Amino acid sequence: MNPDTTTQALLDRIDALQTQVAYLVDRQRKQEELLADMTPILRAALGEATWRLDALEKQGWFAFGRELGAIAERVVGHYSPGDVRQLGDATIAILDTVRALTQPAVLHIAAEAGQVLQNADSVEPVGVFGMMRASGDHDVQKGVAVMLELLRHLGRGAQALAQTQDPAALRKARLAASLGPKRRAAVAGPPGSNTQPAGCAIGPSVPAPTATVVDGVAFSADGHLADPNVWTRELGDKLALALGLQLDPPRWQLVDAARADWGQTGQSPNVRRLTQVTGIATKEIYALFPKAPGRTICKVAGIPKPAGCL
């Protein structure tokens, strides 16, 4: 092959590549620009969304939604798709019924009937003669007529129903009705599932530790003196006794050292720090304060729980 042709081919290739590289570099720059511009926007948008959603949550929208979801879940578990389809077919009939029942005049009658039921305990029992006497009352006569008409309609409806359903289906329906509650139990989620209200997510409930006051001395939730400045040596003795400890000179040395160190550094010492400032070996400290020495010494010294318990 002619070397000139080869060189030319190479140059052409480089030319083509150059265009491609320029394109890639440009695209890269655009992407970086987009990212740089979008990051603060995204940050602002997320911040805004956080506060808006927080406001909605504080108003109780999401808790409400979760409860609605739970109700919907129960409905879904209780009714089969067939039931829902029938419900859909009957929508017009149901709405007609609701409309008929909610006419002002009907509602008025229902409200009055409700009043009567509410005052049912003040009504005197009525015997056969009472009934006979009442049958002369025009209002009662009208009421009996309405009841009879209602009974007639009910009877007619029941007969029609019996003709359209075969006995086997009826028995099945009755059985299903009696098993209803079981079917519902099966769809209720396991404990801790997402349908649980917020507070249940924490697991076994532990009584929240609270601040206490004993003999006029205030303690914080973790059992340490609330205000280290009210501490006295007498109180130290009492605090130790309450923990089943008698403060002898070596124990006092540790308690005093803890208090001094706290005064100096503003932080409660842990066992390692106590070893360092007193020269007492860790093992000895454990012999003097067998259970959780760091915390115990600080408790007796009236200073907060040592850090490092983070």
Partner 1 sequence: MKRIVILGAGTGGTLLANKLVQALPDWAVQVIDRDDAHLYQPGLLFLPFGGYRESELVRSRKGLIDPRVQFTVAELNRIAPDEHRVYLQGGARVPYDILVVATGSRVTPEATQGLTAVGWRDNAFDFYTLDGARALRDRLARFDKGRLVLNVAEMPIKCPVAPLEFLFLADAYFTQRGVRKDIDIVYATPLEGAFTKPKASALLGDMLGKRGISVVPEFAVSEVDGAARTMKAFDGREVDYDLLVSIPLHAGSEAIARSGLGDVGGWFPTDKHTLQSRHHPDVFAIGDATDVPASKAGAVAHFQGDVLLTNIVRHTEGQPPLPEFDGHANCFIETGHGKAMLIDFNYTTEPLPGRFPLPAVGPFTLLQESAVNHWGKLAFKWIYWNVLLAGKELPLDHRMLMAGKWA
Count of residues binding partner 1 (CB under 8 A)?
Answer: 42
Q: Minimal distance in Å, beta carbon 260 to partner 1?
A: 15
Q: Which stretch binds partner 1 (CB under 8 A): 44-52, 130-138, 224-232, 240-248?
A: 44-52
- Which of 143, 209, 263, 279 is the binder for partner 1 (CB under 8 A)? 209
What are residue 211's phi and psi, to 5 degrees? -70, 145
Cα–Cα–Cα angle for 78, 81, 82, nearest 5°?
A: 105
Q: From 18-26, 38-46, 68-76, 123-131, give the range in contact with partner 1 by CB under 8 A.
A: 38-46
Binds partner 1 (CB under 8 A): choice among 54, 83, 166, 227: 54
Which range of residues in 101-109, 127-135, 143-151, 287-295 is near partner 1 by CB under 8 A? 287-295
Q: Phi and psi for 187 in degrees, rounded to 5?
A: -95, -10
H-helix or E-strand spanning residue 120 = none
CB-based contact 23:17 (threshold 8 Å): no
Measured from the CB atom, the residue of 17 and 46 that comes closer to partner 1 is 46
Binding partner 1 (rule: CB under 8 A), the pick from 4, 5, 40, 163 is 40
Residues 233-272 that bind partner 1 (CB under 8 A): 265, 269-272
Using CA atoms, how far residue 242 sits from 207, 237, 249, 300, 303, in Å, is 22, 9, 18, 9, 16
- Tokens in use for 49? 């969304």
Residue 241 CB, nearest distance to partner 1 (Å)? 21
User: Would you state the structure tokens that stand for residue 150, as one six-digit string?
Assistant: 């209602």
User: Within 73-132, which residues bind partner 1 (CB under 8 A)?
Assistant: none
Confirm if 105 and 230 have CB atoms less than 8 A apart: no
**Which residue has tokens 């009937």?**
113
Residue (23 or 51) nearer to partner 1, CB: 51
Q: Report how far residue 201's alpha carbon sits from residue 289's, in angstroms, rounded to the nearest whole number.
A: 38
Q: Are 220 and 213 in contact (CB under 8 A)?
A: no
Q: Which lies closer to partner 1 via its Cβ, residue 114 or residue 308?
A: 308
Select from 34-42, 86-94, 99-107, 152-160 the region that touches partner 1 (CB under 8 A): 34-42
What does the per-residue mask of binding to partner 1 show for 167-206, with x meaning CB under 8 A?
Answer: -------------------------------xx-xxxx-x
Q: Where are the alpha helices (DSSP H) in the chain?
A: 3-58, 61-78, 81-89, 91-101, 104-118, 128-134, 138-164, 167-187, 233-242, 249-265, 271-278, 282-288, 293-300
Please tell me whether residue 286 binds partner 1 under the rule CB under 8 A: yes
Chain positions contacting partner 1, by CB under 8 A = 39-40, 42-43, 46-47, 49-51, 53-54, 56-57, 61-62, 198-199, 201-204, 206, 208-209, 265, 269-273, 276, 282-283, 285-286, 290-292, 307-310
